[in-house]
Amino acid sequence: MPIRVPAERVRAYTFARQRLAQRPHLDPAQPGADILAIVTGCGPVRASTVLNTYLALWARTEGLTREALESALYHERTLVRLPCMRARLFVVPAADLPAYVQLSQTTLQEELDGLVHGLLANTRGDNGSPLDADTLVPRILEILASRGPSTVQEMAKLLPVLNAPVEADAAGTATSARLGHRLMPALCAQGLLVRAQTRGSWRSDLFSYAPLSSWLPGVQLDAIDPDAALRHIVLAHVAAFGPVSIADIYQWLGGPRRHQVAAAVMRLGSRLARVHITGSPGEYVMLREHLDELLAFHPQGRAVALLPPKDSYVMAYGDRSRFLDAAYRERIVDRAGEAYGTVWLDGAIAGTWSLQLREEHIAVRLFEPWDPEALGLLDEETRRLGRLLDFTALDVSVGLDEAEADDDQATITLPSITVGK
């Protein structure tokens, strides 16, 4: 029989499991290993943009350095960027890459093949002839094998067709995109290439690409079959975000059908515990080994967190009621359903925030007024963020999120607060 757990405890517990209540300090002797442990424990990190990756890890650590993430991604290569759930870009443990690629190939292969062939069909070579994947893709791999990780522009010097304009996208809509910038991500999703180092500043989104076989020579994509891959990813999701429902897992993965997700959960039955969350319908699952920790959990003090746009903790649940009041549901997502930057207080979303890099400005909009202690914690967190971003004159404005036009409180705002570094 499922165990009943108060929603307040679940909210505080998952917030702490995400390393947001008490952030661990990175070990200077092995920062890459610590970053890997955070990604493994907290779930895949959204990797678009590059800055969002840093911000997601910064929110969950003390003492994050750029070198720590670069070590895990580029030197130790224990982490890798990969288009997976819903073809969105994530940072995942390199050891899990075969499972994610198998999941993508099982659910998206036909779509990916169609995308590649559609791109080539809508692009013309130098002589106006159609392009052929069987000829072009091996040539790309040959260039990368000979010159090492390269950007699209660097490859285009040897293969100019990569700069050819794509006349229309898959839907037949006219576009000004260049072939290389559309083709490389598709080849990454197919498991042929990986995104390697970026060029430019540490916040740059200009990726170089490398063959998967040379970047991670020990990884065998056929080391796991599709059914085992789905179970592996479901188990990792439950470990990072549980308690979760089957509906939560289904919307997170995007590709597998609901009955396939349910079957995977059933086959993992011996490793899972079933719980009821007060105020929420249906059953939830979590790792059996985490159940005692949840039942005994008590929060230790107050905590404020700033999570970047599209953060996995926000996006991992179809039902966000455990940490978000229904009245604010529409205020935290854009038209595409992606989360804005969110402000958290004591395990719940309490506002949104945005960043203006050039102006060194952080704008915070709270759903309700905060008490002085909470505002003090927010001040500390924004200063910490300013240090990560090397801001020399950090400017922070804090106000109430705009209310509905007929709300009596619509004209009430908090005063703007400006602080130094």
Percent of the chain with pLDDT over 90: 75
Q: Is the dihedral of CA 118, 120, 121, 122 positive or negative?
A: positive
Hey, what are 257's tokens? 């059908």
The whole-number pLDDT of residue 404 equals 45
- 80-126 tens-digit pLDDT: 999 988 879 999 999 999 999 998 887 666 556 666 666 766 665 66
Average per-residue pLDDT for the chain: 89
The whole-number pLDDT of residue 238 equals 98
Neighbours of 389 (CB within 10 A): 17
Per-residue DSSP letters for 134-174? HHHHHHHHHHHHHH-SB-HHHHHTT-GGGGSBPSB-TTS-B
Q: What is the rounded CA–CA span in Å between residue 261 and residue 398? A: 42
The whole-number pLDDT of residue 403 equals 53
First-to-final CA distance of the chain: 53
Helix, strand or coil, per DSSP, at residue 317: coil
- Which ranges constitute the DSSP H helices of 43-132? 50-58, 66-70, 97-121
Q: What is the rounded CA–CA span in Å between residue 56 and residue 35? A: 11
The whole-number pLDDT of residue 106 equals 73
Neighbours of 93 (CB within 10 A): 18
Provide the pLDDT confidence category of residue 321 given band limits of 50, 70 and 90.
very high
The whole-number pLDDT of residue 176 equals 66
Provide the pLDDT confidence category of residue 407 given band limits of 50, 70 and 90.
very low
The whole-number pLDDT of residue 284 equals 98
Helix, strand or coil, per DSSP, at residue 206: strand
Q: What is the rounded CA–CA span in Å between residue 403 and residue 410? A: 5
Provide the pLDDT confidence category of residue 332 given band limits of 50, 70 and 90.
very high
Hey, what are 275's tokens? 């719980």
Element (H, E) at 305: strand 304-307
Give me the phi and psi of 67, to 5 degrees please.
Answer: -65, -30
Does 229 have pLDDT greater than 90? yes
The C-alpha torsion from 293 through 294 and 298 to 300, rounded to 10°, is 70
Does 365 have pLDDT greater than 50? yes
Contact 164, 123 (CB under 8 A): yes
Percent of the chain with pLDDT over 70: 87
Q: What is the rounded CA–CA span in Å between residue 5 and residue 208? A: 47
Provide the pLDDT confidence category of residue 189 given band limits of 50, 70 and 90.
confident
Contact 172, 113 (CB under 8 A): no
- 302-312 tens-digit pLDDT: 999 999 999 99
* 287 strand-pairing partners: 272
Provide the pLDDT confidence category of residue 206 given band limits of 50, 70 and 90.
very high
**Amino acid sitting at position 245:** S
Cis link prior to 411 (omega < 30° from 0)? no
Hey, what are 34's tokens? 């610590």
pTM: 0.91
Place of tokens 């610590």: 34
Out of 66-70, 166-170, 171-175, 379-383, the most confident range is 379-383
CA-based nearest residue to 214, from 153, 162, 146, 154: 146
The whole-number pLDDT of residue 136 equals 87
Contact 180, 163 (CB under 8 A): yes
Place of tokens 């746009």: 309
What mean pLDDT comes out for the span 232-246? 98
Q: What is the rounded CA–CA span in Å between residue 163 and residue 60? A: 40
